[in-house]
Amino acid sequence: MNLLQFICKVENSVLVIAETAEEALQKMSVERFNLVVCDYHLPRMNGLEFFRRIALEGYASIKVLTSVEVTPELIDLAFEIGIHECLRKPLTFSCLESIFSLIETRSKDSRNTVQAVIDPVK
């Protein structure tokens, strides 16, 4: 069980995982997500392009971009398109815990909150 799966279990949240942006878009067309965590390096469509697409539809309330290399330029681009956080991989417990705290402050009922993770299998 990875760290995000563990935190979702502790927070009593449902975790949905997609390996590509296209798979995530399909899942998002039928279910609403409170949090989307997406890696920058995806096949065919990078994480910024993915978040630009979902910004038009309002598919997620909290958007988090992850990458091994988080540069000031990437952070600037991410914030311009409405991404809430840019986190360096590997993710730590404390950075994920702060994201879940943000969800709790935005939602009166954080139980069964649905989270999505888009990260290609390496």
Average pLDDT on 30-37 reads: 85
pTM, to two decimals: 0.82
Q: Which of 64-68, 94-98, 104-108 has the highest mean pLDDT?
A: 64-68
Res. 73: pLDDT tops 90: yes
Domain enclosing residue 83, as ranges: 3-118
Q: Is 59 exposed, middle or buried (0-12, 13-18, 19+ CB in 10 A)?
A: buried
Average pLDDT on 109-121 reads: 55
How many Cβ atoms from other residues are within 10 Å of residue 117's Cβ?
A: 22
pLDDT band of residue 113 (cuts 50, 70, 90) is low
Residue 1, SS3 per DSSP: coil
Q: What is the pLDDT of residue 108?
A: 52
Which CATH number goes with the domain that contains 106? Answer: 3.40.50.2300
The total number of structural domains in the chain stands at: 1
